[in-house]
């Protein structure tokens, strides 16, 4: 991309002009003609400098090797600068934002005596989000140090998806879809889990014959197996609160956990959707397939903004929250609006599970009896919140910083049944 730039005298030319003007001024003030001999060669050098006219516009291009990637995946950044006139130096200075780290390549790179120069770096995104790499400060200096210009180049935007943690689809909703999946359903079908024994009927396979029961009862009996069905999963992200150090906030943890859970269920043939709480209420209805994962990942890139709006789940269509869908909320359990949402969902009959993503206790300014008392009250309030949710039939899973999500979710033995059902 060709850019119109403003050329200005280079640093060397400015130094020569400054010394020459000072010598001329001193000669006029003191009346010593010898000072003119000092200024004369400097002025002559400025006049005789090659390429006295200003160069043409600069053509700058900044490209990244990928426009979509996951956290901690390496990206190759290449910046090219081209000028029609011969340049004495073309220098590049990469200034990375805090969300990126430099893997290979020097931040400052210089090419001498050229019309076209190229610089490349390998960078790594550390935090998910929609990011741009840069700026890259490009400085072109003309031959003889006459003219110079500076241009900024950016690469992007780049969609950095959250890296999903390893987790298994342990939570099985009470109601499963009439579609082949990997969850054991209540109905009898062509699964692998044992469901019971019944009398032999014409058409049954001989390999299903239970010979122990047959020999004991004197007539053929066959094994029944539970059907393998698919499930509906809807993950909710509480974006009302964002507490913690950069890159490890409660929102970062919630987004990564939701991505891991969605990826796990989609791999088993289930349908997955998402609802974001915070700002404008947005949702994506459950759907199967790998493409659905990337649709969900792109949707969560825009959840980092503050809002005082209370979400109204009554506006969510039936396709976004289908009956019988398992709802998993990732929340630090701080904002009362998110707690009201899960309580409302439970009253409407949905099986709901909450994952607590708050991994650190509040730290006081100084240890004192008053700060210890405040911490104890805070802990009691948290325990009361968890007890209230569990009393309403909503299991709360703690996800400590030193524990994998899969191990944390293994603590829930049974998903709550839908309201009004056993």
**Structural domain spans, the chain:** 58-161, 177-229, 231-409
The DSSP symbol for 165 reads P
Look at the pTM and tell me if it is higher than 0.95: no
- Helix residue spans in 106-218 (DSSP H): 211-217
> pLDDT of 60-98, one tens digit each?
899 999 999 999 999 999 999 998 888 888 999 999 998
The half-sphere exposure of 289 on its side-chain side, counting CA atoms within 13 A, is: 5
- In this structure, are residues 276 and 237 in contact, taking their beta carbons and an 8 Å threshold? yes
Mean pLDDT of the chain: 81
Query: Which class would CATH give 58-161?
Result: mainly beta
Reference 178, options 106, 231, 119; nearest CA is 231
pLDDT of 421 > 50? The answer is: no
pLDDT value at residue 346: 87
Rounded CA-CA distance 409/222 in Å is 36
pLDDT tens profile 23-42: 677 777 777 766 666 666 65
Topology (CATH level 3) of domain 231-409? Rossmann fold (3.40.50)
The string of pLDDT tens digits covering residues 246-288 is 888 999 999 999 999 999 999 888 889 999 887 677 889 999 8
Run of H or E including 312: none
Does residue 382 have a pLDDT over 80?
A: yes
The number of angstroms, rounded, from the C-alpha of 351 to the middle of its chain's C-alpha atoms is: 27
Query: Do residues 161 and 66 touch, judged by C-beta distance below 8 A?
Result: no
Confidence of residue 108 (pLDDT cuts 50, 70, 90): very high
User: CA-CA distances (angstroms) from residue 154 to 34, 64, 66, 251?
Assistant: 52, 10, 14, 27
């Amino acid at each position: 991309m060709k850019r119109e730039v403003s050329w200005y005298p280079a640093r060397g030319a400015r130094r020569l002009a400054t010394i020459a003007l000072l010598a001329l001024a001193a000669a006029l003030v003191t009346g010593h003609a010898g000072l003119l001999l000092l200024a004369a060669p400097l002025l002559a050098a400025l006049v005789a400098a090659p390429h006295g006219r200003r160069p043409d516009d600069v053509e700058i291009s900044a490209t990244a090797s990928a426009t979509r990637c996951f956290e901690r995946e390496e990206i190759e950044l290449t910046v090219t600068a081209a000028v029609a006139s011969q340049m004495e130096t073309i220098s590049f200075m990469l200034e990375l934002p805090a969300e990126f780290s430099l893997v290979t390549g020097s931040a400052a790179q210089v090419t001498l005596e050229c019309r076209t120069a190229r610089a490349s770096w390998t960078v790594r995104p550390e935090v998910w989000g929609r990011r741009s790499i840069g700026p890259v400060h490009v400085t072109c200096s003309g031959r003889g140090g006459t003219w110079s210009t500076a241009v900024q180049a950016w690469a992007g935007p780049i969609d950095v998806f959250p890296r999903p943690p390893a987790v298994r689809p342990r939570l099985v909703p009470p109601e499963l879809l009439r579609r082949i999946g990997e969850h054991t359903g209540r109905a009898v079908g062509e699964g692998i889990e044992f469901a019971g024994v019944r009398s032999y009927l014409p058409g049954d396979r001989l390999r299903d014959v239970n010979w122990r029961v047959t020999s004991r009862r004197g007539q053929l009996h066959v094994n029944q197996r539970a059907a393998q069905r698919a499930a509906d999963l809807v993950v909710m992200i509480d974006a009302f609160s964002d507490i913690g150090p950069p890159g490890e906030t409660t929102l970062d943890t919630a987004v990564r956990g939701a991505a891991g859970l969605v990826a796990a269920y989609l791999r088993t043939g289930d349908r997955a959707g998402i609802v974001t709480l915070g700002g404008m209420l947005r949702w994506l209805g459950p759907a199967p397939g790998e493409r659905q994962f990337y649709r969900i990942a792109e949707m969560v890139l825009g959840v980092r903004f503050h809002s005082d709006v209370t979400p109204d789940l009554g506006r969510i269509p039936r396709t976004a929250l289908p009956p019988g869908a398992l709802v998993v909320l990732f929340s630090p359990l701080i904002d009362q609006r998110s707690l009201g949402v899960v309580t409302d969902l439970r009253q409407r009959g949905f099986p709901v599970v909450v994952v607590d993503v708050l991994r650190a206790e509040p730290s006081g300014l100084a240890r004192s009896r008053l700060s210890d008392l405040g911490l104890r009250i805070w802990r009691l309030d948290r325990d009361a919140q968890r007890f209230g949710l569990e009393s309403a039939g909503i299991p709360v899973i703690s996800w400590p910083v030193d524990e994998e999500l899969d191990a944390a979710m293994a603590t829930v033995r049974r998903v709550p049944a839908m309201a009004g059902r056993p």
